[in-house]
Structure 1
Amino acid sequence: MSSASTSTALYAAVVSSSQMMGAVPEDAKDRTHHLKDGKGFRNPWDSYREMSVTAIMKAMIWRHLSGKANKPDTTPPTVPVRKPAFLPTRETSTLRATWLGHACYYVEFPGGLRVLFDPVFESRCSPFSFMGPKRYTEMPCKLEDIPCIDAVIISHSHYDHLSHPTITKIKELHPNTHFFVPLGNKQWFLKSGVENVTELDWWESRDIHLSAMQSKDKAPSDGHVTQDDKVIKTGGSKDIQATIGCLPCQHTSARTPFDKNHTLWASWSVESGGKRIWFGGDTGYRAVDELPAGEDDYDPKHKFPHCPAFKQIGNLRGPFDLGLIPIGAYDPRYIMSPMHANPFDSVNIFVDTRCKRALGIHWGTWVLTEEEVLEPPKLLKKALAQKSIPEEGVFDVCDIGESREYRGPEPL
């Protein structure tokens, strides 16, 4: 179906300072993640170890030359892909999450809010259409198949999370969509012709009020309604309220070799219709040293610091009905661990953030690192067992294109 023509009601957004932003840690005002010269950002914790792009490239090249590198097997079958079935209307009493590959989730909230996270609908996650990591699993649908998108939330600027062709296509299909991005990313959107964008720093929140418009003729040309504009409501259509929060995570950002950490990275919370979710985006948990092959970096003899931000998120903004938590792109650990969680880290993040349920993201789509493509869900089961957390129904993985519904404390 064509999303531009079948949306049951046209909604326009009013974005305002949050009246329900929740608690903020005492040290947030220090903004220790801001560089002192005001020209970028950093991870302000002992759990992070900085590695330059050059150092990472040298380490990866040396692994290949020395024969230590693993080349993951992408021969089908790998991750099952199914065509998603989106709800035909906004009327639903459940929280519904559909995995569209890698870190992209489409979430349908009770009350009608529809949010798309980190959409990349290209075959390659690269600045080039002819080179760079290529999908080994098919896209489950086209953007035109998604019936409505009220908000798009971006975790950071890396190409597997932020795609220029995808963003401009969403603007074309859904001109009223509002984009939420971490600090410093707004200018990229404006240059891309997208004006409905709000950028936030860690621990900042915004309330979004979606009002049904009478017709496309009544919609403002930029798709955004300010508080002073008159909103014409459609009979029988319900207004939608939500609170969107920008929260910390441990990662990096870049679009070129020359702009590392010029823009902020973030995790996000979204609360609407009585449900609250946490989107981890892309994050590390600890910085692990190079260890002998097969040695467990969670062995008690190793005391690698872990990121304290996730417990702050859980204590101050949790609990969450659902977490979307990264589980892939982690090997080799001594290179990737500062910025990418492995499943053992992911389960600790799940516990720290006080998510009642979770679904794994950031795997199953592109080969970005050296672990086998089907290893993340296997290690996730081991990690859950070590914490005596049930393997199914609590922190799951699903097929690409599959939807999971959550009514209350138990998944359907």
Structure 2
Amino acid sequence: MVASPRYRDGRFHNTEQLDSPMRKGTSVLSTMPEFLFGGAARRPPGQLPIESPRDTWLRPSDSGLRVTWLGHSTVLVEIDGRRVLTDPVWADRISPFPFVGPRRFHATPISIDELPPLDAVLVSHDHYDHLDAPTVRDLARLDVPFVTSLGVGSRLEALGIAPEHIVELDWWEETTLPKSGLGFTATPSRHFSGRSPFDRNRTLWSSWILTGEKHRVFFSGDTGLTTELATIGERKGPFDLVMLEVGAFHEAWGDIHLGPDNALIAHRMLGGGTLLPVHWGTFDLALHGWDEPAETLVSRAEALGIHVITPRLGRAVEPVQLDRVDPWWREVAPATLEERPVAPARSA
């Protein structure tokens, strides 16, 4: 870990300087009026539509690439006959304590026991909404390889994952899992890490590339906009599927999260591909409306000709078979075109 060019003074660092998760000129205090008096509906007014993917999972995919969004950044990726679970979170709350912290909007579409056999679990970084301790403990009994960023392995080991099942990677390092043949590449992101006020940036954060026999998938993890995305596209693109975080955005923390507008810029930098928005619709982590990330993304993407897919929670879909967006969130909160929660255009 100490040999990493990103590690100095006991901490990891971004390529582009990031002194604080908050942008210069902003603070928690400056966002307080919006937190207290903002009019956005930060939780859905009704139940979200959820489906079970179990029957679909029993059949092999026609195209070789199928994805099931299970909420937030948890996605089951079926790539060329192999299965990867990203950032698994089954907890009701994302917090060090089960009785406080952001609570999920919806039940998980399936239980951990209902998962199909996995070939790998990918953990992008150690924040609570990406590394959920109870979920990892449950997954430990499956004897599945865990692939993660540099330094996160010790956290996984403490939760019961055997050391021989953990693969840690630094940015631009690659591995091929011997049993499945799946390839993983850790790539740069612009974010931070830590699970308490006392361990900030002690572990690395990454975006990721999953490589099968015929398909390649990019997963952003958490990131703000960074020139590194263009480098990723040049070195490793194009991608068949690009999974980008679109939620938890705000001008004050625009350096550490994309949001819908910057996700579209990131998509272009990466070289395109079908876009699956993640990191939204499950937890209240920001000040925007709960459905604003999706509504904003699809309204902007259409004019740009970007192929976006927005599957319902738990619906297993093959990107090449979808030719239009499913705006399922409008069923939960019907609105006229003028009332839809589209965010003002935000600068990078």
Query: Is TM > 0.5 for Structure 1 vs Structure 2?
Result: yes
* Counterpart-to-counterpart distance in 1, 2:227 and 2:61: 38
Correspondence list, 1:155-170, <5 A: 155-170=124-139
Residue in 2 aligned with 1:43? 14
On the 8 A contact 1:120/1:160 being kept in 2, the answer is yes
Superposition deviation, residue 257 in structure 1:
1.3
| RMSD of aligned alpha carbons | 2.4
* Counterpart-to-counterpart distance in 2, 1:349 and 1:400: 24
* Counterpart-to-counterpart distance in 1, 2:84 and 2:45: 31
Structure-2 change in CA distance of 1:51 and 1:106 (3 Å): closer
On the 8 A contact 2:149/2:170 being kept in 1, the answer is yes
Superposition deviation, residue 56 in structure 1:
4.8
Residue 292 of structure 2 is aligned to residue 375 of structure 1? yes
- Any idea what the Cα deviations from partners look like across 1:220-248, whole Å, max 9, x if unmatched? xxxxxxxxxxxxxxxxxxxx322111011
* Counterpart-to-counterpart distance in 2, 1:258 and 1:89: 47
* Counterpart-to-counterpart distance in 1, 2:31 and 2:323: 43
Instruction: Describe the SS at the equivalent of 2:239.
Output: coil
Residue 311 of structure 2 is aligned to residue 395 of structure 1? no
Q: Which runs of 5 or more structure 2 residues have no equivalent in the other structure?
A: 325-348
* Counterpart-to-counterpart distance in 2, 1:125 and 1:73: 16
Residue in 1 aligned with 2:117? 148
* Counterpart-to-counterpart distance in 2, 1:311 and 1:358: 16
Residue in 2 aligned with 1:171? 140
- Any idea what the Cα deviations from partners look like across 1:36-57, whole Å, max 9, x if unmatched? 22x11122216x452479x854
* Counterpart-to-counterpart distance in 2, 1:107 and 1:116: 6
Residue in 2 aligned with 1:4? none
Residue in 2 aligned with 1:109? 79
On the 8 A contact 1:103/1:118 being kept in 2, the answer is yes
Superposition deviation, residue 63 in structure 1:
4.6
Q: Which runs of 5 or more structure 1 residues have no equivalent in the other structure?
A: 1-29, 211-239, 286-306
Residue in 2 aligned with 1:129? 98
On the 8 A contact 2:34/2:287 being kept in 1, the answer is no
Among residues 245, 248, 262, which one is paired with 1:326 in the alignment? 245
Instruction: Describe the SS at the equivalent of 1:396.
Output: coil
Among residues 43, 64, 67, which one is paired with 1:97 in the alignment? 67
Instruction: Describe the SS at the equivalent of 1:244.
Output: strand
Residue 261 of structure 2 is aligned to residue 344 of structure 1? yes
Residue in 1 aligned with 2:212? 272
On the 8 A contact 1:96/1:108 being kept in 2, the answer is yes
On the 8 A contact 1:202/1:266 being kept in 2, the answer is yes
* Counterpart-to-counterpart distance in 1, 2:302 and 2:62: 34
Residue in 1 aligned with 2:175? 206
* Counterpart-to-counterpart distance in 1, 2:73 and 2:140: 20
* Counterpart-to-counterpart distance in 1, 2:288 and 2:91: 23
Correspondence list, 1:20-35, <5 A: 33-34=6-7
TM-score, normalization by structure 2: 0.84
On the 8 A contact 1:327/1:376 being kept in 2, the answer is yes
Correspondence list, 1:74-85, <5 A: 74-77=43-46, 79-85=48-54
Instruction: Give the partner amino acid of 1:359.
Output: L
Structure-2 change in CA distance of 1:42 and 1:408 (3 Å): same
Residue in 2 aligned with 1:357? 274
Residue 116 of structure 2 is aligned to residue 181 of structure 1? no
* Counterpart-to-counterpart distance in 1, 2:168 and 2:114: 27
Instruction: Give the partner amino acid of 2:278.
Output: I
Residue 195 of structure 2 is aligned to residue 255 of structure 1? yes
On the 8 A contact 2:246/2:259 being kept in 1, the answer is yes
On the 8 A contact 1:321/1:409 being kept in 2, the answer is no
On the 8 A contact 2:309/2:322 being kept in 1, the answer is no
Superposition deviation, residue 383 in structure 1:
2.5
On the 8 A contact 1:94/1:406 being kept in 2, the answer is no
Q: How many residues align?
A: 317
Structure-2 change in CA distance of 1:409 and 1:401 (3 Å): closer
Fraction of identical pairs, as percent:
30
Superposition deviation, residue 273 in structure 1:
2.7
* Counterpart-to-counterpart distance in 2, 1:185 and 1:330: 25
On the 8 A contact 2:72/2:283 being kept in 1, the answer is yes
